[in-house]
Amino acid sequence: MQRGMSIERFESIFSPERLLISPAHLSAYESDALTAFHSRPAAVVVPESADEVIATVRLCNELRLPFVARGSGTSLSGGSLPIAGGIVIALNRLNRILRLDPTDRIAVVEPGVVNTQVTVAAQPFGLHYAPDPSSQTICTIGGNVAFNSGGAHCLKYGMTSNHVLGLKAVLASGEVVEFGGESRESVGPDLTGLFVGSEGLFGVALEITLQLLPRAETFHTVLAGYRTLEEAGNAVSAVVASGLLPGAIEIMDALAIQAAEAAVHAGYPKGCEAVLIVELEGPREKVAAERIELDALLATSGAVEIRVAADSAERMKIWKGRKSAFSAVGRLSPDFIVQDGVVPRRRLGEALRRIGEMSRESGIRVANVFHAGDGNLPPLILYDGREAGALERAETLAGRILKMCVEMGGSLTGEHGIGVEKRDYMPEMFSAVELDLMKRIRSAFDPLGIANPGKMFPCADAPALSQHGLHPLEKAGLISRE
């Protein structure tokens, strides 16, 4: 690749081994975990400090050059897909835990820190970091912040936004800002909450202050097998309606069970169309009382087999099957699309039945592995990309499922984000006025529209220029100094 004047400007920031421009290097960044979409950037830069990230963003602003920040590339919505001719800012070397305070129960981390490493560092103090996406052994905190990631235990503990107290970021304009702090007590707009889940459309997080929680004293993990997926969904509704608040409620269907067994030999019940994992956690006395109620509920839920993990080894074996399910589905199909629409929990059984009907009508297999406790449905739509029209048929089915979620009063996404994959479905959920407001907010933080353009909004045009020198929310017309 012949270097243009714009790329040469980055040589003043990065040494040759950290300014990647060869086709071989760039090919590794052409897509994220949603491999159906590809785009080649002009260059990939690998900063090793926050100052280098700031300098990169400021240069991109000066050159009006689009950029996308990327961690481990585990996004399933095309959220970290490069912009053709733009810059990828690879944040993996910003992987330091800057401070861990067990007294105040906080950790200040850089965006490239892997999710599980926060808990590893906190464990000696009896603490942990609660959000646990399935990709937690490789996904990074920066990406978790961008997409407001959840995980198996988000039913009880909430999403990433519930655990980020503050952050330092460089906005697309080049301005360095600090939102929030080390406490939940704050005055004024919740700009931290606004930044979390913004999918990289505002800028790049440089330091993130995370809340840590005490590790549960004990766990009670139950695996139940069902004849039908709808029965498993109805069992979830019954557990939630009872007033119990498990740490996690997860469902896997027959295809997902088959894949997990082949991959990690989890030992799930044979012949079941679905398995339900319910985990209680907390103080020993509280869990002892709740398990009596849970066991009674499951005994009357139509389960054909119920297993209780006798120790931590059995508990980890149950969870190993669930955590490996997404990647294990690759054993069943060379390609798949992962959706993550959300439905109200009371309609979970109905939603699963309708997904099964749509699967049969289309002749496309669908594996279901999902966070049942909060109605987050990530159906895996299996297809073979080598077959003509297979991807298009899979995308059509994915669209039908997303529309069903919205019709039921749910959401287009639970934690994967909109990215490029679901942007054309935004009008199904939001009005033109609401979408315009979102664009105005984005324009306030990124006047030139250079931060991860083409994502989230159906129309990929750049936002109009905003007034210079005002607070971001003043630029959007949402607050006033008067």
Q: Is residue 470 part of a domain?
A: no
Both 420 and 290 in one domain: the answer is no
Q: Is residue 462 part of a domain?
A: no
Both 158 and 206 in one domain: the answer is yes
Out of 424, 440, 464, a domain closes at 424
What does the block give as tokens for 118?
A: 């926060």
Q: Is residue 49 part of a domain?
A: yes
Q: What is the pLDDT of residue 265?
A: 82
Both 168 and 283 in one domain: the answer is no
The set of residues, in sequence order, having a beta carbon less than 8 Å from that of 11 and lying 6+ positions away, is 19
The set of residues, in sequence order, having a beta carbon less than 8 Å from that of 363 and lying 6+ positions away, is none
- Is the Cβ–Cβ distance between 105 and 184 less than 8 Å? no
Both 206 and 319 in one domain: the answer is no
Backbone angles phi, psi at 114, to 5 degrees: -75, 140
Both 365 and 396 in one domain: the answer is yes
Question: What is the domain-level CATH number for residue 65?
Answer: 3.30.465.10
Question: What is the domain-level CATH number for residue 246?
Answer: 3.30.70.2190
Q: What is the pLDDT of residue 325?
A: 76
Mean pLDDT per 10-residue segment, the chain (482 residues): 70 96 94 88 97 98 96 92 95 98 98 98 97 91 96 89 97 97 86 96 98 95 92 89 91 88 83 93 95 94 93 90 78 86 86 91 90 81 92 94 95 92 94 95 96 86 37 40 32
Both 107 and 209 in one domain: the answer is yes
Both 257 and 205 in one domain: the answer is no
Both 229 and 315 in one domain: the answer is yes
Q: What is the pLDDT of residue 15?
A: 95
Q: Is residue 37 part of a domain?
A: yes
**Whole-angstrom Cα distance, residue 51 to residue 481?**
31
Q: Is residue 309 part of a domain?
A: yes
Question: What is the domain-level CATH number for residue 403?
Answer: 3.30.70.2740
Total domains in the fold of the chain: 3
Q: Is residue 262 part of a domain?
A: yes
- Is the Cβ–Cβ distance between 293 and 244 less than 8 Å? yes
Out of 281, 308, 332, a domain closes at 332
Both 257 and 188 in one domain: the answer is no
Out of 313, 332, 351, a domain closes at 332
Both 150 and 261 in one domain: the answer is no
Both 392 and 271 in one domain: the answer is no
Q: Is residue 255 part of a domain?
A: yes
Both 97 and 242 in one domain: the answer is no
Tell how far CA 83 is from the center of its chain.
20
Backbone angles phi, psi at 416, to 5 degrees: -80, -20
What does the block give as tokens for 333?
A: 């199909």
**Residue written as token pair 């199909």:** 333
Name the residue range of residue 413's domain: 334-424
